[in-house]
Amino acid sequence: MSALTIVFTVLQVLSGLAVTAIVLMQSGKSAGLSGAISGGAETFLSKGKAKTLDAKLARMTKWFALVFVILTLILNLI
């Protein structure tokens, strides 16, 4: 194995662990029975959703997953 392969493999493992950790930190879409009854109605407080922690975690999940896929493709080509 070349040094480049080792570096990309380590980066892939780290990005996979990051995706897993970020997904586990996210809250569910509806919390328990109250979410099923209310149907997740839109409220005034949810208008600033882009700046909430869950929105940031969702965005980070997308980026780390993209990095993971790109590293997988690169490792396949090496």
Q: What is the chain's pLDDT, residue by residue, as a tens digit (78 residues)? A: 899 999 999 999 999 999 999 999 998 876 555 655 655 555 555 666 667 999 999 999 999 999 999 999 999 998
C-alpha 70/C-alpha 74 separation (Å) is 6
Helix pair 53-77, 3-25: axis angle to 10 deg: 160
The per-residue pLDDT for 46 is: 60
Length of the chain: 78
What are the structural domain ranges in the chain? 1-10+51-78
The per-residue pLDDT for 27 is: 86
